[in-house]
């Protein structure tokens, strides 16, 4: 099953709205609370990243009984040094963004902790595409 | 706590129900459907919050009645009275008049339910909480606990497992009578309940209160008995008939059932939310775990707290004011002899203060099996797209989305949509063939849950 949502850049008042909608869907599909939790933590971080750092983008969710794949893609400006961006506490968020309670530099590392497969395609001046795979099978790392 | 079916105390009187959709629209768990022109409540989804009873313009939703005479089956008849009872009376009725009337209608002992707060504080020098996760969520309101079991199972480890004040008071009352030589079978403890949820909890077999409390008595019924007695014996005080001892309680404990009453006695950063739709909005946030700075959450299904309970006769704001006014006259600490009486029973009380862990209820999911649930969800999406989206409720489901879910579950046919029937009857016929007629189930009185809860 496929669902897709637009995410507007800079609109912090609705950051988290897509995560909440997806949470409702996952709960109705009877995913275990533990799966719902980690998927939503990762998705929320990725959603806030689009709002805080990008020119805007979209979130695509593909759900089947084996796995949930969420692709978060924006239209730029890209992450220049991905390795640095993955470091806990490192952030390029502006003072304004930090004042609103975002930009603590935990985003990407929180995403990595909660996903089974994480693929990030980015670069300076390029769009960023984050693909997160969550396996639902019993005995999976996070199950 | 193993999974047990909820006992419900609310019922629809079909002779009065007009099928008007008010209750269905207000229900916070979408538990109500209108079929055959009457409201039907899905017992797997109802949390006994009482919103439907509150909103029904035809008084068609009623609460189970209990026989007051049952108290006379016991030699020692203990009333556990919520402090909000005093708020149901005008200032002319003094506390002593009310307590006198409780004895006059048949009780031998009267305790305030919130005295349990003082007992807990005396035993541990503070109000202890016991939960597996942070922030701790109050377990005081049984409708909120049921809501969490149903909709927010991830938050079950956050629920405080300490017994509620009324339960602790019941423990104390029993231990105290037994210590004075009363036979256990002669002791009947009755809770005067201001709402459907607390009554339902008492009636649920194996719940935290069963055995501890012999029965619940609806507050509005007891209020009528007290009023009648007060009217008959208005000169009781002057005639010098026995005056009763005022039940022990401190001012802060007296306020516990009101909004902020509980949270103000808790350590750390606390927050209180009242009214069930507000509670739902807030639980969604808590579930996302972005509020780690909070320590304790007081959540109540009724507006203003228990004074907003559906069985309370008086306006909740006036009642709240009287309770606060009375609390200001009460001591901040218990008298020494009461403290000593509690401490003498501490062995009997202290090992019985926690309840079992609470288990989740599964009835909002589209299906137990994820693949089937996904298939049903795809159907819900497609059906929602063709429905008018105006949520008129004429179909008997609270929203277009809810109707789509009912169709996907096989509990309803798209033929129920009145807007489509008027706009495009031919198209509707076509769609009904695709998505099913669901006639056998539509004639069924209540929606059948998709699967039985896990054992």
- Distance between CA B415 and CA B428 in Å, rounded? 7
Work out the percent of chain B whose per-residue pLDDT is above 70: 91
Is the pLDDT reported for residue B442 higher than 60? Answer: no
Tell me which of B136 and A102 has the higher pLDDT: B136
Q: Read off the CATH number of the domain in which A22 is found.
A: 3.30.565.10
Give contacts of A 113-142 with B, CB under 8 A: 136
Residue A104 belongs to a domain = yes
- Distance between CA B201 and CA B207 in Å, rounded? 7
Average pLDDT over residues B92-121: 95
Residue A9 belongs to a domain = yes
Domain residue ranges of chain B, discontinuous segments joined by +: 68-350, 366-455
Beta-carbon separation of B371 and A65 below 8 A:
yes
Residue A142 belongs to a domain = no
Total count of domains within chain A:
1
Beta-carbon separation of A30 and B367 below 8 A:
yes
Beta-carbon separation of A31 and B370 below 8 A:
yes
Q: Which two tokens stand for residue A119?
A: 């693929």
- Read off the pLDDT band of B54 (50, 70, 90): very high
Beta-carbon separation of A33 and B153 below 8 A:
yes
Output the pLDDT for position A102: 64
Average pLDDT over residues B5-19: 88
Is the pLDDT reported for residue B142 higher than 90? Answer: yes
Beta-carbon separation of B370 and A30 below 8 A:
yes
Distance from CA of A124 to the nearest CA of B (A): 31
E-strand ranges in B243-369 read 270-274, 296-300
Residue A141 belongs to a domain = no
3-state secondary structure of A17: helix
Output the pLDDT for position B448: 46
- Concatenating the DSSP letter of every residue in B90-156 gives -TTS-HHHHHHHHHHTT-SEEEETTHHHHHHHHHHSS-----SSSSEE----HHHHHHHHHH-GGGG
Tell me which of A143 and A77 has the higher pLDDT: A77
CB B168 within 8 A of CB B353: yes
Q: What is the DSSP letter of A89?
A: T
Measured between beta carbons, the chain B residues lying within 8 angstroms of A23 are 287-288
Is the pLDDT reported for residue B208 higher than 70? Answer: no
Average pLDDT over residues A91-117: 73
User: What are the distances in angstroms from CA A105 to CA A40, A55, A97, A109, B292?
Assistant: 18, 19, 12, 8, 17
Beta-carbon separation of A16 and B288 below 8 A:
yes
Output the pLDDT for position B439: 58
Mean pLDDT of chain B: 89
Residue A108 belongs to a domain = yes
Average pLDDT over residues B203-226: 84
Output the pLDDT for position B440: 52
Closest CA to B403 of B1, B120, B24, B70: B24
CB B30 within 8 A of CB B398: yes
Output the pLDDT for position B211: 77
Closest CA to B146 of B351, B3, B317: B3
Output the pLDDT for position B240: 58
Beta-carbon separation of A1 and B373 below 8 A:
no
Measured between beta carbons, the chain A residues lying within 8 angstroms of B366 are 28-30
Output the pLDDT for position B27: 95
Residue A13 belongs to a domain = yes
Measured between beta carbons, the chain A residues lying within 8 angstroms of B365 are 27-30
Closest CA to B217 of B314, B54, B107: B107
Measured between beta carbons, the chain B residues lying within 8 angstroms of A63 are 374
Is the pLDDT reported for residue B229 higher than 90? Answer: yes
Output the pLDDT for position A49: 87
**β-strands B61-63, B270-274 pairing:** unpaired
Output the pLDDT for position B98: 94
Q: By the CB < 8 Å criterion, does A2 face chain B? A: no
Distance from CA of B280 to the nearest CA of A (A): 13
Q: pLDDT for B147-190, tens place per residue?
A: 999 999 889 999 999 999 999 999 999 999 999 999 999 999 99
Is the pLDDT reported for residue A143 higher than 60? Answer: no
Cβ pairs A/B, distance under 8 A = 53
Residue A96 belongs to a domain = yes
Task: Using the structure block, give the residue that is written with the tokens 């069963």.
Answer: B210
Output the pLDDT for position A106: 59
Beta-carbon separation of A27 and B367 below 8 A:
no
Output the pLDDT for position A11: 85
Q: By mean pLDDT, which of A89-103, B304-318, B340-354 is the weakest?
A: A89-103
CB B88 within 8 A of CB B98: no
Is the pLDDT reported for residue B328 higher than 70? Answer: yes
Is the pLDDT reported for residue B109 higher than 90? Answer: yes
Q: pLDDT for A49-86, tens place per residue?
A: 898 888 999 999 999 999 999 999 989 788 877 777 77
- Read off the pLDDT band of B233 (50, 70, 90): confident
**β-strands B215-218, B270-274 pairing:** unpaired
Top mean-pLDDT range of A127-141, B40-54, B418-432: B40-54
Measured between beta carbons, the chain A residues lying within 8 angstroms of B284 are 20
Average pLDDT over residues A25-31: 92
Average pLDDT over residues B327-348: 94
Beta-carbon separation of A29 and B378 below 8 A:
no
Task: Using the structure block, give the residue that is written with the tokens 């700075």.
Answer: B293
Q: State which residue of chain A sits closest to B368, comparing Cα positions.
A: A30
- CATH for B366-455 is 1.10.15.40
Tell me which of B349 and A94 has the higher pLDDT: B349
Domain containing A17: what range? Answer: 2-135
Residue A140 belongs to a domain = no
């Amino acid at each position: 099953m496929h669902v897709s949502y637009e995410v507007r850049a800079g609109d912090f008042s609705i950051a988290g709205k897509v995560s909440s909608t997806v949470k409702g869907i996952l709960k109705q599909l009877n995913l275990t609370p533990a799966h719902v939790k980690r998927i939503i933590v990762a998705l929320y971080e990725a959603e806030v990243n689009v709002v805080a750092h990008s020119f805007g983008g979209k979130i695509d969710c593909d759900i089947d009984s084996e796995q949930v794949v969420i692709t978060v893609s924006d239209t730029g400006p890209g992450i220049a040094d991905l390795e640095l961006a993955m470091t806990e506490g490192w952030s390029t968020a502006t003072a304004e963004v930090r004042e609103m309670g975002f930009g603590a530099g935990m985003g990407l590392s929180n995403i990595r902790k909660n996903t089974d497969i994480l693929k990030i395609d980015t670069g300076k001046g390029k769009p960023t595409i984050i693909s997160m795979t969550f396996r639902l099978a019993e005995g999976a790392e996070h199950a | 706590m193993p999974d047990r079916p909820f006992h419900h105390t609310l019922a629809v009187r079909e002779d009065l129900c007009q099928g008007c959709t008010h209750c269905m629209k207000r229900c916070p768990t979408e538990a109500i459907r209108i079929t055959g022109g009457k409201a039907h409540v899905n017992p797997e989804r109802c949390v006994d919050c009482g919103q439907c009873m509150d909103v029904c313009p035809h008084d068609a939703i009623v609460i189970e009645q209990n026989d007051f005479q049952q108290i006379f089956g016991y030699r020692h008849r203990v009333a556990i009275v919520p402090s909000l009872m005093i708020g149901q009376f005008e200032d002319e009725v003094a506390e002593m008049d009310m307590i006198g009337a409780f004895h006059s209608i048949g009780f031998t002992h009267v305790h305030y339910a919130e005295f349990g707060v003082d007992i807990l504080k005396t035993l541990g020098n503070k109000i202890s909480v016991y939960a597996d996760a942070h922030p701790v969520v109050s377990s005081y309101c049984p409708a909120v606990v049921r809501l969490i079991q149903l909709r927010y199972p991830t938050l079950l480890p956050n629920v405080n497992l300490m017994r509620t004040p009324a339960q602790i008071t019941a423990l104390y009352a029993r231990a105290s009578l037994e210590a004075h030589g009363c036979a256990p079978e002669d002791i009947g403890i009755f809770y005067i309940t201001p709402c459907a949820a607390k009554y339902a909890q008492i009636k649920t077999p194996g719940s935290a209160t069963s055995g501890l409390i012999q029965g619940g008595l609806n507050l509005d019924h007891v209020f009528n008995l007290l009023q009648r007695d007060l009217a008959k014996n208005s000169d009781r005080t002057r005639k010098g008939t026995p005056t009763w001892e005022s039940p022990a309680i401190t001012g802060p404990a007296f306020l516990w059932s009101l909004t902020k009453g509980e949270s103000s006695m808790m350590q750390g950063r606390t927050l209180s939310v009242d009214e069930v739709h507000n509670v739902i909005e807030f639980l969604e946030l808590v579930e996302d775990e972005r509020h780690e700075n909070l320590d304790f959450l007081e959540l109540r299904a009724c507006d203003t707290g228990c004074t907003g309970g559906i069985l309370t006769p008086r306006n909740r704001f006036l009642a709240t004011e009287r309770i606060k006014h009375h609390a200001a006259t009460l001591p901040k600490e218990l008298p020494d002899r009461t403290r000593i009486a509690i401490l003498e029973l501490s062995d009997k009380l202290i090992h019985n203060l926690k309840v079992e862990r609470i288990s989740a209820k599964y009835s909002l999911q589209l299906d137990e099996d994820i693949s089937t649930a996904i298939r049903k969800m795809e159907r819900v999406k497609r059906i929602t797209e063709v429905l008018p989206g105006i949520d008129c409720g004429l179909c008997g489901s609270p929203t277009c989305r809810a109707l789509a879910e009912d169709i996907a579950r096989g509990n309803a046919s798209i033929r129920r949509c009145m807007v489509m029937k008027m706009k495009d009857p031919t198209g509707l016929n076509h769609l009904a063939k695709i998505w099913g007629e669901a006639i056998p189930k539509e004639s069924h009185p209540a929606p059948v849950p998709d699967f039985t809860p896990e054992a």
